[in-house]
Amino acid sequence: MQLQISEEVRAALDDSRPVVALESTVITHGLPYPQNVETALAMESAVREGGAIPATIAVLQGQITVGITHDDIERLGSIKDNSVRKCSRRDFPIAVGLKQDGATTVAGTMIVAYAAGIKVFATGGIGGVHRGHPFDVSADLIELGRTPVAVVCSGAKSILDLPLTLETLETQGVPVIGYGVDSLPAFYTRESGLPIDQRVDTPQQAARIIQALFALNLGHGALITVPVPVEYELDGQVAEQAIQQAVREADEQGITGKHVTPFVLSRVSALTGDRSKRANTALLVNNGKTAAMIAGELSKIAL
């Protein structure tokens, strides 16, 4: 895979210093402008605070780019109507072949991070199995089963069927780790009550698992789930009501395919207002910093 890697990221990778990959679909399809751009930049700063180099990934006019600039983030984030291609595995040949802009999903970002030699990737929530549509399985879950990258996230929004999402991750052979938590985080809320495979409490423990994942050469990824910071957690019932309404509207309006997740995300955000937006930003920033600390420990072990 031909990559355009920024000088800063290239230098860090060459010296085996910690690097954290960041996705771009959350910028173009996950949050409204200008909160999306502010959050993306805040996340990059949090990665630096945590001691790693951020590498935000996107396709820029057909060039798969690792470490896009602040200007690129502003440009992608301010393009109207979600017109940037949402780039999952199947979209790369189209975006590259036709020299389009593309924002990489969790699956898309994993593919590029792996090709660049980046082991740790931070985001907010992964895709999963949709409620009421058990055959609508996000390509993120399949990618986790086939690409060795550690994805640091806050679980998945309960716009998804979380039990079926966990079942699929099990089938795909993906270990689900709770970082300071005993059950799977559900994005806006810290705990879903659903089982994880192991709890860890330090960046070092998480790094040991990731080190083993690569050493064993198993060929799949891992999920490190970090709950939203306590002071930003949403009331579970408020979140659930908005989610039920948003999923119902998606069904009523016949929204399908790659449009389902962006539609439901924007409806949930509109229905829950400022609190959910603050929670979303807070967990993205916290995940960036946590991922950086894990990547730091990993580069110590790997030396």
**What are the residue numbers of the active site?**
23, 157
Residue with Cβ nearer Mn ion (139 or 224): 139
**Beta bridge mates, 19:** 53
Question: Is the CB of 202 or the CB of 241 nearer to ligand PSU?
Answer: 241
Tokens of 182: 């005993």
Q: Which stretch binds Mn ion (CB under 5 A): 18-26, 97-105, 130-138, 213-221?
A: 130-138
> How far is CA 250 from each of CA 155, 160, 224, rounded to the nearest angstrom?
22, 13, 29
Check residue 138 for interaction with ligand PSU (CB under 6 A): yes
149 binds ligand PSU (CB under 6 A): no
Residues 6+ apart with CB under 8 A from 254: none
* CA–CA gap between residue 147 and residue 112 (Å, rounded): 10
Alpha carbons 108 and 52: distance in angstroms, whole number: 21
Which of 10, 89, 119, 157 touches ligand PSU by CB under 6 A?
A: 157
Query: Which residue's CB atom is positioned nearest to Mn ion?
Result: 136
Q: From the list Mn ion, ligand PSU, none, pick the one residue 44 interacts with, judged by a Cβ distance below 5 to 8 Å according to partner type.
A: none
* E runs forming strands in the chain: 4-5, 19-22, 53-60, 63-66, 85-87, 102-104, 120-122, 129-130, 133-137, 150-153, 176-179, 198-200, 222-225
* Rounded least distance, CB 77 to ligand PSU, Å: 12
Confirm if 64 and 109 have CB atoms less than 8 A apart: no
User: Among Mn ion, ligand PSU, none, what does residue 30 contact (CB within 5–8 Å per kind)?
Assistant: ligand PSU
What's the distance, CA 15 to chain centroid? 25
**Closest residue to bound ligand PSU by CB:** 30
Q: Is residue 158 part of the contact set for ligand PSU (CB under 6 A)?
A: no
Q: Does 127 bind ligand PSU (CB under 6 A)?
A: yes
Residue 6 carries which DSSP code? Answer: -
Quote the least distance from Cβ 222 to Mn ion, whole Å: 22
Binding-residue total with ligand PSU (CB under 6 A): 18
User: Which residues sit at the interface with ligand PSU, rule CB under 6 A?
Assistant: 23, 25-26, 30, 105-106, 124-127, 138-140, 157, 187, 258, 261, 265
